[in-house]
Protein backbone atom coordinates (compact mmCIF):
# COMPACT_ATOMS: atom_id res chain seq x y z
CA UNK A 1 0.00 0.00 0.00
CA UNK A 2 1.21 3.50 -0.81
CA UNK A 3 1.04 6.41 1.62
CA UNK A 4 1.00 10.05 0.66
CA UNK A 5 2.16 13.18 2.45
CA UNK A 6 0.34 16.21 1.05
CA UNK A 7 0.29 19.96 1.42
CA UNK A 8 -2.88 21.98 0.92
CA UNK A 9 -2.77 25.73 0.22
CA UNK A 10 -5.83 27.57 1.49
CA UNK A 11 -7.35 30.71 -0.02
CA UNK A 12 -5.79 32.78 2.79
CA UNK A 13 -2.39 31.26 1.79
CA UNK A 14 -2.12 29.10 4.93
CA UNK A 15 -0.59 25.65 4.44
CA UNK A 16 -1.83 22.35 5.89
CA UNK A 17 0.30 19.20 5.91
CA UNK A 18 -1.22 15.74 6.25
CA UNK A 19 -0.73 12.11 5.30
CA UNK A 20 -3.09 9.42 4.04
CA UNK A 21 -3.28 6.17 2.11
CA UNK A 22 -6.19 7.42 -0.04
CA UNK A 23 -5.66 11.00 -1.22
CA UNK A 24 -8.90 11.37 -3.19
CA UNK A 25 -10.95 10.18 -0.23
CA UNK A 26 -9.06 12.41 2.21
CA UNK A 27 -9.43 15.48 -0.01
CA UNK A 28 -13.15 14.70 -0.22
CA UNK A 29 -13.35 14.65 3.57
CA UNK A 30 -11.66 18.05 3.76
CA UNK A 31 -13.94 19.49 1.06
CA UNK A 32 -17.08 18.17 2.74
CA UNK A 33 -15.98 19.36 6.17
CA UNK A 34 -16.85 15.91 7.51
CA UNK A 35 -16.31 14.95 11.13
CA UNK A 36 -13.12 13.12 10.01
CA UNK A 37 -11.73 16.25 8.34
CA UNK A 38 -9.00 18.21 10.09
CA UNK A 39 -10.32 21.10 12.17
CA UNK A 40 -7.77 23.33 10.41
CA UNK A 41 -9.31 22.49 7.02
CA UNK A 42 -12.84 23.14 8.30
CA UNK A 43 -11.81 26.55 9.64
CA UNK A 44 -9.87 27.84 6.63
CA UNK A 45 -12.23 27.45 3.66
CA UNK A 46 -11.27 26.60 0.10
CA UNK A 47 -7.92 25.08 -0.85
CA UNK A 48 -5.84 23.55 -3.62
CA UNK A 49 -3.54 20.57 -3.46
CA UNK A 50 -0.07 22.13 -3.60
CA UNK A 51 2.30 19.17 -3.13
CA UNK A 52 2.48 15.40 -2.68
CA UNK A 53 5.13 12.80 -1.83
CA UNK A 54 4.63 9.02 -1.93
CA UNK A 55 5.98 6.47 0.58
CA UNK A 56 5.90 2.69 0.92
CA UNK A 57 4.96 2.68 4.61
CA UNK A 58 2.82 4.68 6.99
CA UNK A 59 5.80 5.07 9.34
CA UNK A 60 7.84 6.78 6.59
CA UNK A 61 4.90 9.05 5.71
CA UNK A 62 4.33 9.97 9.33
CA UNK A 63 8.01 10.76 9.84
CA UNK A 64 8.06 12.98 6.75
CA UNK A 65 4.86 14.75 7.80
CA UNK A 66 6.38 15.48 11.20
CA UNK A 67 9.60 16.72 9.58
CA UNK A 68 7.76 19.07 7.19
CA UNK A 69 5.62 20.51 9.97
CA UNK A 70 8.81 21.66 11.72
CA UNK A 71 10.13 23.46 8.63
CA UNK A 72 9.95 27.22 8.15
CA UNK A 73 7.41 28.69 5.79
CA UNK A 74 10.20 29.60 3.34
CA UNK A 75 11.48 26.04 3.26
CA UNK A 76 7.96 24.66 2.66
CA UNK A 77 7.42 27.15 -0.17
CA UNK A 78 10.75 26.13 -1.77
CA UNK A 79 9.66 22.46 -1.59
CA UNK A 80 6.29 23.24 -3.16
CA UNK A 81 7.99 25.26 -5.92
CA UNK A 82 10.49 22.47 -6.56
CA UNK A 83 13.38 24.87 -5.96
CA UNK A 84 15.96 22.36 -4.73
CA UNK A 85 18.79 24.91 -4.75
CA UNK A 86 16.89 27.26 -2.42
CA UNK A 87 15.70 24.33 -0.33
CA UNK A 88 19.31 23.27 0.33
CA UNK A 89 20.26 26.85 1.23
CA UNK A 90 17.47 27.08 3.78
Of residues 13, 12, 66, 18, the one with CA closest to residue 39: 18
DSSP state of 46: -
For residue 30, what pLDDT is reported?
A: 85
- The correct CATH number of 3-89 out of 3.40.1440.10, 1.10.1200.120, 3.90.1150.10, 3.40.50.300 is 3.40.1440.10
State pTM to two decimals: 0.89
Q: What is the pLDDT of residues 43-84, one digit of tens each?
A: 777 889 999 999 999 999 999 999 999 999 999 999 999 998
Q: What is the pLDDT of residues 3-39, one digit of tens each?
A: 999 999 998 999 999 999 999 999 888 888 776 677 7
Amino acid sequence: MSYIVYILRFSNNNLYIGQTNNLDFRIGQHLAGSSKSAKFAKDHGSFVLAYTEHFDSRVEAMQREKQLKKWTRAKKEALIAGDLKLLKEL
